[in-house]
Amino acid sequence: MKKILDAISEEMRKAFAEAGYDEELGKVSLSNRPDLCEYQCNGAMAGAKKYHKAPIMIAGEVAEKLKDSAVFSEVNAVAPGFLNLKVSDVFLCDYLKGMEAADKFGLETPEEEKTVIVDYGGPNVAKPLHVGHLRSAVIGESVKRIARYAGYKVIGDIHLGDWGLQMGLIITELQERKPELPYFDESFTGEYPKEAPFTISELEEIYPTASGKSKEDPAYKEKAMENTFKLQNGVRGHRALWDHIISVSVADMKRNYEKLNVEFDLWNGESTVQYLLADMVEEMKKGGYAYESEGALVVDVKEESDTKEIPPCIILKSDGAALYSTTDLATISERVTKYNPDIMIYITDKRQAMHFEQVFRCARKTKLVGDDTKLVHIGFGTVNGKDGKPFKTRDGGVPRLENLIHDIDEEMFRKIVESRQEMPEEEARNIAEIVGLAAIKYGDLSNQAAKDYSFDVDRFTSFEGDTGPYILYTIVRIKSILAKYQDQGGSLENLELAPAISPDEKALMMEIAKFNTMMETAFAECAPHKICAYIYDLANAFNRFYHETKIISEEDEAKKAGLIALLVLTKEILETCIELLGFSAPDRM
């Protein structure tokens, strides 16, 4: 189905052609003066030089061709040559009927299925999820859902940090605390215990302790590096401990991500591609791409067009150890082999922009990916406190993600109880979790990903303004009206939209009509904030319409049915959008 601007522009292009001018001049855009018109066309201004005519004369001739148009109710040529446009109520209504009848409201999807991999730039195992992990999870989940809705096959991969020195540090600290464990007995040949020798709480305390010791004690760090080497070279006891670390960590992560309504198709990590590293490095050497520089193995990735210094991509350190760049390149290679993706999207802190610039260039130069594979890095900003500085707890630590979610839920519960005294506590708690999730996700996603933002519990949980609870309150209000209509004997089946009978109704219909254009942009730019901006405008348009319109009390049943049909479509659009953002609406608040 054509986007509404395309449909309107088609009518305008036809008029330019009939008036004897280039039809390409007939491009229409949303009006930048909504007080004067709904849409505008500036083609006459562009055509004046080519046709040696005053633009107002061209605009007047085109307007004359549109006087009987079924698309426009008003076409005015105004000095010095603008065409001010208002669309016909019937045309707009018919367009919405087409959206209503079409799959995905008429959003055009790819003719052939393409594959997208979303890499969430995942957390390190054995560490608690904290506020810094919020953005990759929330943005990644929404980007994944948007791409799926756009008609792509999408694979989401958490891409865990599950290899390297951090594992050696944990094993070393366990060895000091519990040397009697069979994992450290090289002569042990039996089966290792199925239960991990630590809880998630113990594990989360072990890593920072070990990390602190390694910075102060060179011998301790040396031992940790030795244990890392043993793990990576398959020493049986170390591998068994590593399995426990992964199992306990992943179980806790899944619990936390479930609270955020975030799911992954793959739970892969750096360890997944270790089998590829040696051969990949050898191929880079054979191909003449990799060479030694100051003892390290590197690939030059600078290009003649660069305006800033792009350092070489380091493949192996001077001691032969692999880096993040090495495992990221091997991961790209594995993904190409297994899934042959058309697009790979990486979502990480924007401070990693240079790393991914180097990795992407290296992957292309060394032929790990073809020219037709799109590699995208979405770099996000930091989550700050109200003071604009990185968000900290009262004691100066980084807030744990589960505590952040709990604090939002408690604030929402308090507000719901205050406003709905009669609601049972269990129901209030359930609603608080639903609305709290909307508060967190919308609070994050309504910002452009690259920008920093302040995590403000009071603002995020407000039922007024540009917030998740406001959007949900609007949906709940529509649900309430529809329920009343049904209670009065009305049916939501076989309703038919009718042309607008008021400016506020038309304004709401025009917002709905923008859905397809918005969705195409949100996918093309990997930009969930476009959806947030759209539903905020749509919610505002609905609430203005609601306050100025008799709906349930409308006596003309045909008119009432038309209004109810518009409410149903508004609700469906809003619910589709919040699903793409990763949250849902309760039935009441």
Q: Which tokens hold the place of 222?
A: 């040396």
Task: Identify the DSSP state of 123.
Answer: P
User: Is pLDDT above 90 for 248?
Assistant: yes
CA neighbor of 167 nearest in space, from 122, 117, 214: 214
Residues 6+ apart with CB under 8 A from 119: 140, 157, 159, 331, 344, 345, 346, 347
CB contact at 8 A, 524 and 530: no
CB contact at 8 A, 226 and 168: yes
Model confidence at 458, pLDDT cuts 50, 70, 90, reads: very high
User: Is pLDDT above 80 for 25?
Assistant: yes
Residues 6+ apart with CB under 8 A from 175: 181, 184, 223, 227
Peptide bond before 80: cis, by omega within 30 degrees of 0?
yes
CA neighbor of 137 nearest in space, from 358, 360, 449: 449
**Is it true that 118-161+268-384 and 401-581 share their CATH fold?**
no
> Rounded mean pLDDT of 37-56?
96
Residue 313 DSSP SS3:
strand
For residue 58, the surrounding DSSP H or E stretch is: helix 55-65
Task: Identify the DSSP state of 469.
Answer: H
Q: Which tokens hold the place of 149?
A: 């809705």
Residue 397 DSSP SS3:
coil
Q: How confident is the model over 263-275, as pLDDT tens digits?
A: 999 999 999 999 9
| Residue 4: predicted pLDDT | 97
| Residue 367: predicted pLDDT | 97
Q: How many CA atoms lie within 13 A of 580 on its CB side?
A: 28
Least confident piece of the model among 103-117, 333-347, 393-407:
393-407
| Residue 391: predicted pLDDT | 84
Task: Identify the DSSP state of 415.
Answer: H
Average pLDDT value for the chain: 95
Model confidence at 421, pLDDT cuts 50, 70, 90, reads: confident
Pairing of strands 72-78, 82-87: antiparallel
Q: How confident is the model over 125-179, as pLDDT tens digits?
A: 988 898 889 999 999 999 999 999 999 999 999 999 999 899 999 999 999 999 9
| Residue 208: predicted pLDDT | 92
Helices (H) and strands (E) in the chain, counts: 20, 13
As a CATH number, domain 4-87 is: 3.30.1360.70
Amino acid type, 9 = S
Distance (Å, whole) CA 497 – CA 172: 69
User: Is pLDDT above 80 for 214?
Assistant: yes
Model confidence at 387, pLDDT cuts 50, 70, 90, reads: confident
Residue 372 DSSP SS3:
coil
Model confidence at 422, pLDDT cuts 50, 70, 90, reads: confident
Helices 134-149 & 557-581, crossing angle to 10 degrees? 130
User: Is pLDDT above 80 for 394?
Assistant: no
Residue 269 DSSP SS3:
strand
For residue 74, the surrounding DSSP H or E stretch is: strand 72-78
Other Cβ atoms closer than 10 A to 232: 19
Q: How confident is the model over 68-95, as pLDDT tens digits?
A: 999 999 999 999 999 999 999 999 999 9
Residues 6+ apart with CB under 8 A from 462: 469, 470
* Percent of the chain clearing pLDDT 90 (strictly above): 92
Domains in the chain: boundaries: 4-87, 118-161+268-384, 165-259, 401-581
CB contact at 8 A, 521 and 535: no
Q: Strand ranges (DSSP E) for 251-342?
A: 290-293, 296-299, 313-316
| Residue 121: predicted pLDDT | 84
Overall size of the chain counted in residues: 589
> Rounded mean pLDDT of 308-318?
95
Model confidence at 420, pLDDT cuts 50, 70, 90, reads: confident
CA neighbor of 70 nearest in space, from 88, 43, 92: 88
Q: How confident is the model over 318-374, as pLDDT tens digits?
A: 988 899 999 999 999 999 999 999 999 999 999 999 999 999 999 999 999 999 999
CA neighbor of 393 nearest in space, from 137, 213, 132: 132
- When the candidates are 3.40.50.620, 3.20.20.70, 2.102.10.10, 3.40.50.1100, the CATH number that belongs to 118-161+268-384 is 3.40.50.620
Distances (CA, A) of 527 to 5, 104, 143, 426: 21, 19, 7, 36
User: Is pLDDT above 80 for 474?
Assistant: yes
Top mean-pLDDT range of 142-151, 379-388, 410-419:
142-151
User: Is pLDDT above 80 for 98?
Assistant: yes
Residue 421 DSSP SS3:
coil
- When the candidates are 1.20.1070.10, 1.10.3720.10, 1.10.730.10, 3.30.830.10, the CATH number that belongs to 401-581 is 1.10.730.10
